[in-house]
Structure formats: structure tokens, C-alpha cells
Amino acid sequence: MKQAQKRDMAALKQCNEELEQTLQQANLLILALNTMIETAEKDGGARALKRADQKKV
């Protein structure tokens, strides 16, 4: 493998690791937000999320 190919491969691996870390953080944020919404709905009794099966008026 040529030196340039090795550098490109290393750069791609680094980019992949960064993307995976960003995805993990986004998934954690989604989990936290969903938990907050569920807690608010239980405490307040109001629905915070729209249901997909509701019709528009």
C-alpha cells in the first residue's frame, strides 16, 4: 500500500470514529428528550407529542 493510501485510510478511519461518536451523542440526546417528554406527560397530564393517527381539523 502506498503512503498516500495509508494516509487516506487513516483519515477515513478518524472520520468514521468521529461520526460514530456524534451518532452516539445524538442517540443519547434523543433518549433524554423522550424521557423528559414522557415525564412531563405523566406529571402534567397533557400530551406533548403528536400522534400520527390524529386527523387535522
> Residue 37: which of 47, 27, 28 has the closest Cα?
47
Predicted local confidence at residue 17, as pLDDT: 98
Per-residue pLDDT tens for 12-53?
999 999 999 999 999 999 999 999 999 988 888 767 666 677
From its phi and psi, is residue 45 left (phi > 0), alpha (psi between -120 and 50) or beta?
left
CA–CA gap between residue 32 and residue 37 (Å, rounded): 9
Q: Is the pTM of this model over 0.75?
A: no
Predicted local confidence at residue 44, as pLDDT: 81
